[in-house]
């Protein structure tokens, strides 16, 4: 199976003054992320305000970002939703855009059963040869995919590339890693703050928000851990922790989008129903991102 990368960032979606997607700036952000230590980008995820994007906007972003990155970085298209038929269709369309893989999220709001998840994901996976990352984030979806459900899904479908796991529950991480059905199934932490602990129990990668700002540092942390230099890995983890905490003081992607604006990117505001960046948080975050300014 194609290696989708170790350090991936779920990229923001810039908007212009009229509120339209700024495709050129989205491409520039993606190129910046690859230059700053990322192996690839997730497009139209929750950090990319995927729920606020029209299908045509998503497809344009998939096409243009992949065209710009070429072989320099992977593009993972956020195509999963809570409507199975629509998810299948979007996944097929993303495939035609040339993306390297897809991100399929546990359906939000509808609270599917574990059997329902197997059927939902199975229908999408059967409709595409693309490698798929299953995204479990009960804080947003209100439903937790149990480790046994993921194990069974990966056993049934060879194009399950791995899981983006965002429960923050080390016991759940352990159960998933203990029962991986194939060697080519990858565990990506879905939260920056717990990336290093996940490596300690056998995790491999990260699908990041902070990677917009500190991709090089996150890679250096993983490289140090791999080399057995746990002291250096731990120091980087501790140094980054105030910044990572601040990025999630209010709803993601509000803080990271604002931060990228201070880096010189014309990102625009978040689309409704997300609100504006609080002034108090600007004052907190500004000195934390200053050392990493390009």
Q: Which residues are catalytic?
A: 135, 164
Closest CA to 209 of 70, 7, 58: 7
Closest CA to 176 of 156, 207, 152: 152
Task: Please name the residues in contact with 35: beta carbons below 8 A apart, sequence gap of 6 or more.
Answer: none
Q: Is 146 exposed, middle or buried (0-12, 13-18, 19+ CB in 10 A)?
A: middle
Q: What are the tokens at 154?
A: 């990966």
Which residues, listed in sequence order, are joined to residue 2 by a DSSP beta bridge? none
Strand, helix or coil at 110? coil
Q: How far is the C-alpha of 6 from the C-alpha of 187, rounded, in Å? A: 9
* Cα separation, 114 vs 150, whole angstroms: 9
């Amino acid at each position: 199976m194609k290696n989708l990368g170790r350090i991936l960032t779920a990229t923001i979606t810039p908007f212009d003054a009229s509120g339209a997607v700024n495709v050129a700036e989205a491409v520039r952000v993606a190129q910046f992320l690859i230059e700053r230590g990322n192996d690839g980008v997730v497009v139209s995820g929750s950090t990319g305000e995927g729920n606020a994007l029209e299908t045509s906007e998503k497809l344009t972003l998939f096409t243009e970002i992949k065209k710009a990155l070429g072989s320099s970085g992977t593009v993972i298209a956020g195509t999963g939703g809570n409507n199975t038929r629509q998810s299948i269709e979007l996944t097929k369309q993303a495939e035609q855009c040339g993306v390297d893989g897809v991100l399929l999220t546990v359906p939000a709001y509808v609270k599917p059963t574990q059997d329902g998840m197997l059927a939902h994901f199975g229908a999408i996976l059967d409709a595409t040869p693309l490698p798929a990352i299953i995204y479990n984030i009960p804080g947003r979806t209100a439903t937790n995919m149990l480790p046994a459900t993921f194990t069974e899904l990966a056993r049934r479908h060879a194009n399950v590339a791995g899981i983006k796991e965002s429960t923050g529950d080390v016991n759940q991480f352990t159960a998933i890693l203990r029962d991986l059905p194939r060697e080519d199934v990858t565990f990506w932490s879905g939260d920056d703050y717990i990336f290093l602990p996940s490596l300690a129990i056998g995790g491999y990668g990260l699908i990041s928000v902070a990677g917009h700002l500190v991709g090089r540092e996150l890679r250096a942390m993983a490289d140090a851990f791999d080399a057995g230099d746990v002291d250096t890995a731990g120091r980087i983890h501790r140094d980054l922790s105030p910044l990572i905490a601040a990025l999630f003081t209010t709803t993601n992607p509000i803080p990271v989008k604002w931060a990228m604006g201070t880096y010189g990117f014309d990102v625009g505001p978040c689309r409704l129903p997300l609100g504006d960046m609080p002034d108090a948080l600007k004052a907190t975050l500004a000195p934390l991102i200053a050392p990493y300014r390009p």
